[in-house]
Structure 1
């Protein structure tokens, strides 16, 4: 369950992240008018901004039209499952795969001999 799903019953405005890839690092300051800048990578020239969920699609369209923006896209965090049940199932699956590898190989060596 995501945080925004928990906010449905409250008066707090749901927010969503937008990843903005820039042509130049100093162009980050021009994004302040669109939302709250929460992270900026000078080396990789991208910025993460948060905006209200109800205007996020329009902001992405506006950002993609700007000359200093290479690309803008919604952050995929809404589609990720952070629930405890999902994590437990994932760990169980990984443990079963590891046990199967050990049973097949007879030892802890990986197929590329990196272990």
Structure 2
């Protein structure tokens, strides 16, 4: 769920929100909500006996889960930055095309 939301939300935030800092903060807000909901569902499944996301022993750190989520989170910031860069490039190209003074 976190991956899908990141792919759907991050680039448009970077593209449509003028300030990159505001787009990053909006991404943090969306990601925090989705991550919390996803984590709650996985813990519910783990307490019911499904050990596919978390190990059976509660004292063991699920490093693979941490790593995958960190990569998805970082990729989201990369997509926000990419969306912002694409918007800036399109604005520069359109500004040169409309410049009638030169």
Please say whether Structure 1 and Structure 2 have the same fold, judged by a TM-score greater than 0.5. no
TM-score computed with the length of structure 2 as normaliser = 0.27
**Greater helix content:** 2
Greater Rg by CA: 1
Higher-RCO chain (CA-CA 8 Å, sequence separation at least 6)? 2
TM-score computed with the length of structure 1 as normaliser = 0.25
